[in-house]
Amino acid sequence: MLTIIRNAQSVKKETADIPYSKLKATILKILEKENFIKKTEIKGKKNKKTIEITLSYDEKGNPAIQHLQRVSRLSQRIYIPLKKIKPVQYGKGLWIISTPKGILSNKEAKKEKVGGEIICEIW
């Protein structure tokens, strides 16, 4: 999903379609709430669902997402305790963290007072 978004923004596409999963939908809702993407829309039925993402650009045509990288991988899981959660890129970016209370941004995880596995970082 992250690669599809990166590639779509590099060629200045307006929208991108990705296969549906609950995890992807939750991550995209966080990105939408933080204004990194304009809107998400779930299309299709049953096992043929896709998520259509409307990408966000500034007035000059630069993408809203400058950096999008997966942190935790199958071969190396990266966990972060509550005490080490800090602002990303001086507050301009965020981490998506999988916590016992669900998928949260680093700001929400700090408020909920939980740590977890860092899925990706965005700025």
Whether 110 and 75 have beta carbons less than 8 Å apart is answered as no
**Which of 64, 80, 103 lies at the terminal end of a domain, its last residue?**
64
- Per-residue tokens: 66: 């400058």
Domain coverage including residue 3? 1-64
Whether 36 and 62 have beta carbons less than 8 Å apart is answered as no
Residues 93 and 48 in one domain: no
Residues 59 and 75 in one domain: no
CATH number of the domain within which 47 lies: 3.30.1370.30
Q: What is the pLDDT of residue 32?
A: 95
Q: What is the pLDDT of residue 90?
A: 87
pLDDT tens sequence across 35-68: 999 999 999 998 899 999 999 999 998 999 999 9
Strand spans (E) along 23-93: 37-43, 50-55, 68-70, 79-80
Residues 44 and 75 in one domain: no
Q: Structural domain tally of the chain? A: 2
CB atoms within 10 A of CB 7: 11
What global pTM score does this model have? 0.89
- Per-residue tokens: 11: 């060629």
Residues 71 and 60 in one domain: no
Tens digits of pLDDT across the chain (123 residues): 999 999 999 999 999 999 999 999 999 999 999 999 999 999 999 889 999 999 999 999 899 999 999 999 999 999 999 999 998 888 889 999 999 999 999 999 999 999 999 999 999
**Which of 45, 64, 83 lies at the terminal end of a domain, its last residue?**
64
**Percent helix, percent strand, percent coil in the chain, to nearest 5:** 30, 35, 35
CATH number of the domain within which 85 lies: 3.30.1490.10
Residues 41 and 59 in one domain: yes
